[in-house]
């Protein structure tokens, strides 16, 4: 994989003090756990950092930021004459012709599902699954739109799923297979994998795992109007249409998230500054044409607006019109800080002295079941440094250097980092970070009654056993 060109912040007109202020604000906010960021200015990487135990080469679950990659696949298919935006959606699924009788469903065009303007007034995922759990496109088309397509915005997962299904049908390829020679290889994007449904279709609306570097490269392609290193990949017309308002959004309510009310393009959000793709819990690709900049972020937060607020408050003013003479010292201080970024591990002490035999035991769910994680049926503790989670019949062994004040990383069977230890003689508390997702599982074992509790810091949106808390691997 080719490296993106590097530069210093000052050489590209970026005030390193502003980046430092942004990092300060991210790390000081208890609602935000930053995992990575990459900032490009004038086509060069001026800032990149990963908070250990997260690392540059690990793919991350992008959640709905996946949608912007789906839009890119659709853009290639349009350019190749395989899809037409003004074709009815139903025309790509003739086997559903007899079932889909609602006139609004039949009037829905490809451009409507590409722009979240299917005519539905709200999310339809649950209703579509209720109509047909095995074929979500059919289920979606059987949910009658509330308004005429193209007249109302509603963020709607089955709309993007349908767009992705059309691409996969007309190309005869999964999204990752179709994008590999057209996007991933030309841009130098390495490992990327997409969660598929029971039909084998890659979801489109979520489920893509890719590195922060890959997100930054996608943003740079769009910033350059579809050109990469002098070669046109996407039509300029597609980029222009994808990144302008296709459907308006009602004004933000008082106290609402204003950056989610600026309008929507083709699987890109408009923002108060520029436009972006984003995914649940703080995955961002922010493109700033006026500043000639791209910002890629991965994180864990339930307040995504706060992250953007901090970008506008600290990073945007740091992007000046030209080089900043005399910025070498500030650049050096920033580089030093970026090299030592790390998340604080959970606190804990080593196993209590003289209690090893007591702690060499199996813990059952407190109350008989674990509400946050029903398939987690047991936790086995070895006071010598191993904790084993028994989930859906699988055994997930975790290394734990209790009391060492760091993270212990294990790559198989699931990439995790573990920290924590004994908070007292009767209690073991462990923080398990699933490194290819935004999520942490917090496990607490109580010796008094030989039970454990487990809760997610943020709830994963894709169901399944813990062994799936990673990027899909080839069979």
Three-point CA angle 208, 433, 308, nearest 5°: 60
Task: Give SS3 for 257.
Answer: coil
Report whether pLDDT(1) > 60: no
Which 8-state DSSP code applies to residue 147?
S
Predicted confidence at residue 368, as pLDDT, reads 87
Whether residue 188 is found in the same domain as residue 335: yes
* pLDDT tens readout for residues 270-297: 999 999 999 999 999 999 999 999 999 9
Question: What is the signed CA dihedral for 474, 267, 226, 295, rounded to 10 degrees?
Answer: -80
Instruction: Give me the mean pLDDT over the 310-323 stretch.
Output: 92
How many residues in the chain?
475
Distance CA(434)–CA(408), nearest Å, equals 12
Residue 345 within any structural domain of the chain: no
* pLDDT tens readout for residues 179-235: 999 999 999 999 899 999 999 999 999 999 999 999 999 999 999 999 999 999 999
Confidence band for 324, pLDDT divided at 50, 70 and 90:
confident
Report whether pLDDT(2) > 70: no
Instruction: Give me the mean pLDDT over the 412-421 stretch.
Output: 95
Report whether pLDDT(309) > 90: yes
Give percent of the chain above pLDDT 70: 99
pLDDT averaged over every residue in the chain: 95
| Pair of tokens at residue 281 | 């819990």
Confidence band for 251, pLDDT divided at 50, 70 and 90:
confident
Q: Say which residues have a Cβ less than 8 Å from residue 437's Cβ, sequence separation at least 6.
A: 60, 61, 460, 469, 470
Whether residue 375 is found in the same domain as residue 287: no
Predicted confidence at residue 455, as pLDDT, reads 96
Distance CA(117)–CA(109), nearest Å, equals 9
| Residue appearing with tokens 């109302």 | 152
Whether residue 261 is found in the same domain as residue 291: yes
Whether residue 295 is found in the same domain as residue 373: no
Report whether pLDDT(372) > 90: no
Predicted confidence at residue 475, as pLDDT, reads 65
Predicted confidence at residue 201, as pLDDT, reads 97
Domain containing 289 — which CATH number? 3.40.710.10
Instruction: Give me the mean pLDDT over the 434-455 stretch.
Output: 96
Whether residue 207 is found in the same domain as residue 288: yes
| Residue appearing with tokens 């080839």 | 474
Whether residue 310 is found in the same domain as residue 388: no
8 Å CB contact between 454 and 370: yes
The alpha carbon of residue 322 and the mean position of all alpha carbons in its chain are separated, in whole angstroms, by: 33
Q: Give the lowest-confidence range in 83-97, 191-205, 316-330.
A: 316-330
Containing structural domain, residue 287: 10-80+166-339
Residue 141 within any structural domain of the chain: no
Question: What is the signed CA dihedral for 15, 17, 21, 22, rounded to 10 degrees?
Answer: 30
8 Å CB contact between 36 and 343: no
Q: Is pTM, for the whole model, over 0.75?
A: yes
Confidence band for 253, pLDDT divided at 50, 70 and 90:
confident
| Pair of tokens at residue 364 | 């059952």
Q: How many domains does the chain have?
A: 2
Helix residue spans in 173-321 (DSSP H): 175-179, 185-187, 212-223, 236-242, 304-310, 316-318
* pLDDT tens readout for residues 154-183: 999 999 999 999 999 999 999 999 999 999
Backbone angles phi, psi at 108, to 5 degrees: -65, 130
Whether residue 199 is found in the same domain as residue 68: yes
Predicted confidence at residue 356, as pLDDT, reads 76
Residue 42 within any structural domain of the chain: yes
Distance CA(83)–CA(91), nearest Å, equals 11
Residue 232 within any structural domain of the chain: yes
Report whether pLDDT(85) > 90: yes
């Amino acid at each position: 994989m080719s490296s993106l060109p590097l530069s210093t912040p000052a050489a590209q007109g970026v005030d390193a003090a502003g980046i430092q202020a942004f990092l300060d604000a991210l790390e000081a906010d208890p609602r935000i756990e930053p995992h990575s960021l990459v900032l490009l200015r004038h086509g060069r990487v001026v800032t990149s950092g990963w908070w250990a135990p997260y690392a540059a080469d690990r793919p991350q679950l992008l959640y709905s930021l996946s949608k912007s990659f789906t839009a890119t696949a659709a853009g290639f298919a349009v350019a190749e004459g395989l899809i037409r935006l003004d074709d009815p959606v139903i025309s790509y699924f003739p086997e559903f012709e007899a079932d889909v009788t609602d006139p609004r469903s039949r009037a829905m065009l490809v451009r409507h599902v590409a722009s979240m303007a299917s005519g539905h007034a709200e999310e339809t995922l649950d209703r579509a699954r209720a109509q047909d759990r095995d074929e979500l496109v059919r289920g979606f088309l059987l949910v009658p739109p509330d308004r005429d397509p193209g007249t109302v915005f509603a963020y709607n997962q089955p709309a993007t799923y349908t767009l992705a299904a059309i691409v996969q049908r007309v190309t005869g390829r999964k999204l990752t297979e179709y994008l590999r020679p057209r996007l991933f290889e030309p841009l130098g994007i390495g490992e990327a994998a997409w969660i598929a449904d029971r039909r084998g279709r890659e979801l489109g609306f979520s489920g893509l795992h890719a590195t922060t570097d890959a997100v930054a490269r996608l943003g740079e392609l769009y910033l350059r109007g579809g050109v990469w290193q002098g070669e046109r990949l996407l039509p300029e017309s597609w980029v222009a249409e994808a990144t302008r308002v296709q459907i308006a959004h009602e004004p933000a309510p008082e106290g609402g998230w204003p950056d989610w009310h600026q309008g929507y393009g083709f699987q890109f959000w408009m923002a108060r500054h520029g436009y972006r793709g984003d995914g649940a819990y703080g995955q961002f690709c922010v493109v700033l044409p006026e500043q000639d900049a791209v910002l890629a972020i991965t994180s864990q937060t339930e307040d995504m607006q706060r992250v953007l607020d901090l970008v506008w408050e600290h990073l945007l003013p740091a992007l000046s019109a030209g080089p900043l003479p005399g910025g070498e010292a500030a650049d050096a201080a920033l580089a030093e800080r970026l090299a030592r970024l790390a998340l604080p591990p959970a606190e804990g002490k080593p196993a209590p002295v003289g209690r090893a035999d007591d702690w060499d035991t199996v813990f059952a769910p407190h109350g008989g079941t674990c509400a946050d994680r029903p398939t987690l049926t047991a936790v086995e503790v070895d006071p010598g440094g191993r904790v084993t989670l028994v989930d859906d019949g699988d055994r997930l062994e975790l290394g734990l250097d209790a009391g060492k004040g760091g993270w212990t990383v294990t790559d198989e069977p699931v990439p995790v980092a573990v920290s924590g230890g004994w908070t007292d003689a009767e209690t073991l508390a462990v923080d398990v970070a699933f490194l290819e997702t935004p999520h942490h599982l917090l496990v607490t074992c109580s010796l008094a009654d030989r039970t454990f509790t487990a809760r997610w810091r943020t709830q994963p949106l894709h169901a399944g056993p813990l062994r799936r808390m990673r990027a899909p691997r080839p069979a």
